[in-house]
Amino acid sequence: MNILDTNEFAPYYANYIKLVSEQDIVKGLNLQKVEMLHFFKSIPVFKHEFQYAEGKWTVKDIILHLIDAERIFAYRALRIARNDNTALPGFEENDYVISANANDREYESLLAEYEIVRNATISLFETFSMEDLLRLGTASNHNVSVRAIGYIMLGHELHHKNIILERYL
């Protein structure tokens, strides 16, 4: 993704960002929502709580992780777009997964929540001007732009889709 400057994101996000081919964030979020819902619905029921190794996440855990991470990223984007200069903390994804109890949930409820959260993210990003998208803030002790957050969300989801394809199916 050559559109971003290296000062717009932490180096560890480069692996997510490079997975994204769509330059229009809102278009990418919309397309990905449809693709991911189709993908999640194609996963056989007996794989929903499958772990490829002891202590690894299930597909349900991954879906809820994507939901939680998207909420956090969208919150960061909102704060930065609104010119809130407060440094935003990181989050420990493994703690979230343990506390979320995704495997106690119905699969369809996870998919419904995924769609609701994605629609909210799309709605938020539709409101951002170019000035908003270029605005820089601090999250997890690194500079990040609002537009980089959009690409990170898209790439993060593609990263986890690839893991599901490689290790779960």
pLDDT tens for each residue of the chain, 169 residues long:
458 999 999 999 999 999 999 999 999 999 999 999 999 999 999 999 999 999 999 999 999 999 999 999 999 999 999 999 999 999 999 999 999 999 999 999 999 999 999 999 999 999 999 999 999 999 999 999 999 999 999 999 999 999 999 999 9
Q: Report the predicted TM-score, pTM, of the whole model to 2 decimal places.
A: 0.95
- The DSSP code for 58 is P
Count H helices, E strands: the chain?
7, 2
Residue 1 lies in a domain: no
- Domain contains 86: yes
Q: Measured on CA atoms in the order 54, 37, 117, 109, is the torsion positive or negative?
A: negative
Give the CATH number of the domain where residue 152 resides.
1.20.120.450
In which domain, by residue range, is 54 found?
6-167
Is residue 78 a part of any domain in this protein?
yes
